[in-house]
């Protein structure tokens, strides 16, 4: 019985390794201009089809494109789901930035059916980018703290307050499930100056090192 269990564990472990190597997919990222990026996304239930697979694929996609967060509409799903990994920010931090952010060492989290309860603290500016809007980075002002209600990947309800870079990433990804993009915060003149670049992105004219999906 014991050896049977052992064999089972070994097989399971190899299956998992195999799974990670071959079964998770890197999904194309929806480019600026697609209507799905402008939708207010809907809550989901635990029976949402292939949710675990979707979340695994989103991790795979986010890491493959060197992102620190990814929201479901960016992989063409109109649902309230996003993932973040701010651990990476601190791992790759410059020496001079050490100790600058209160949320060190960061967190890795799945947020399902998230709803922001409160935004608090001193607004601060940070240079943001977005996988759906490649090669554009702009300073965006956001409040310091976010208190958010959400379900984790096991559909357990949580309410948490985040600060620092983690709060920043959460607010950016949360905007995605509300149909908002970071460029919406720019002054009209600045946005006008970027309109040519944005047009090129939506038409797929940029050379990128990750796969994108464009609306016709």
Residue 21's alpha-carbon distances to 86, 108, 200, in angstroms, are 24, 21, 34
**Could you tell me the smallest distance in angstroms from the CB atom of residue 69 to Ni ion?**
7
Mark residues 29-68: x for contact with Ni ion by CB under 5 A, - for none: ----------------------------------------
**Could you tell me the smallest distance in angstroms from the CB atom of residue 57 to Ni ion?**
17
Which residue stretch of 12-20, 25-33, 128-136, 204-212 sits at the interface with Ni ion (rule: CB under 5 A)? 128-136
Distance CA 112, CA 83 (A): 9
Which residue stretch of 26-34, 124-132, 187-195, 206-214 sits at the interface with Ni ion (rule: CB under 5 A)? 124-132
What kind and span of H or E run contains 189?
helix 188-202
List of residues 6+ apart from 27 with CB closer than 8 A: 57, 58, 60, 61, 75, 76, 211
Which residue number, 130 or 140, has a Cβ lying nearer to Ni ion? Answer: 130
**Could you tell me the smallest distance in angstroms from the CB atom of residue 33 to Ni ion?**
14
Q: Could you give phi then psi for residue 143, rounded to 5 degrees?
A: -65, 155
Under a CB-based contact definition with an 8 Å cutoff, are residues 40 and 179 in contact? Answer: yes
Which residue number, 72 or 130, has a Cβ lying nearer to Ni ion? Answer: 130
- Residue number with the smallest Cβ distance to Ni ion: 130
Which residue number, 130 or 165, has a Cβ lying nearer to Ni ion? Answer: 130
Residues catalogued as catalytic: 173
In sequence order, the β-bridge partners of residue 127 are 139
Which residue number, 62 or 112, has a Cβ lying nearer to Ni ion? Answer: 62
Secondary structure (3-state) at 74: helix
Among 79, 130, 140, 177, binds Ni ion (CB under 5 A): 130
Distance CA 142, CA 168 (A): 7
Judged by the rule CB under 5 A, the positions of this chain that interact with Ni ion are 130
């Amino acid at each position: 019985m014991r050896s049977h269990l052992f064999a089972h564990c070994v097989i399971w472990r190899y299956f998992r390794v195999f799974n990670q190597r071959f079964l998770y997919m890197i999904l194309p990222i929806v480019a600026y201009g697609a209507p799905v990026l402008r939708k207010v996304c809907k809550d989901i239930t635990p029976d949402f089809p292939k949710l675990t697979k979707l979340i695994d694929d989103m991790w795979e996609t986010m890491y493959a494109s060197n992102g620190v967060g990814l929201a479901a509409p960016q992989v063409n799903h109109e649902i309230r789901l996003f993932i973040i990994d701010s651990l990476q920010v601190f791992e790759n931090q410059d020496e001079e930035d050490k100790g600058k952010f209160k949320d060190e060492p960061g967190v890795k989290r799945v947020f399902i059916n998230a709803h922001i309860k409160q935004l608090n603290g001193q607004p601060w500016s940070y240079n943001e980018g977005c996988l759906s809007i490649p090669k554009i980075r702009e300073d965006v002002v956001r409040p310091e703290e976010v208190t958010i209600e959400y379900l984790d990947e096991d559909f357990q309800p949580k309410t948490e307050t985040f600060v620092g870079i983690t709060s920043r990433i959460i607010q950016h990804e949360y905007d995605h499930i509300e149909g908002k993009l970071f460029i919406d915060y720019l002054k009209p003149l600045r946005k006008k100056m970027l309109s040519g670049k944005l047009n090129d992105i939506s038409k797929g004219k940029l050379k990128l090192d990750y796969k994108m999906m464009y609306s016709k």
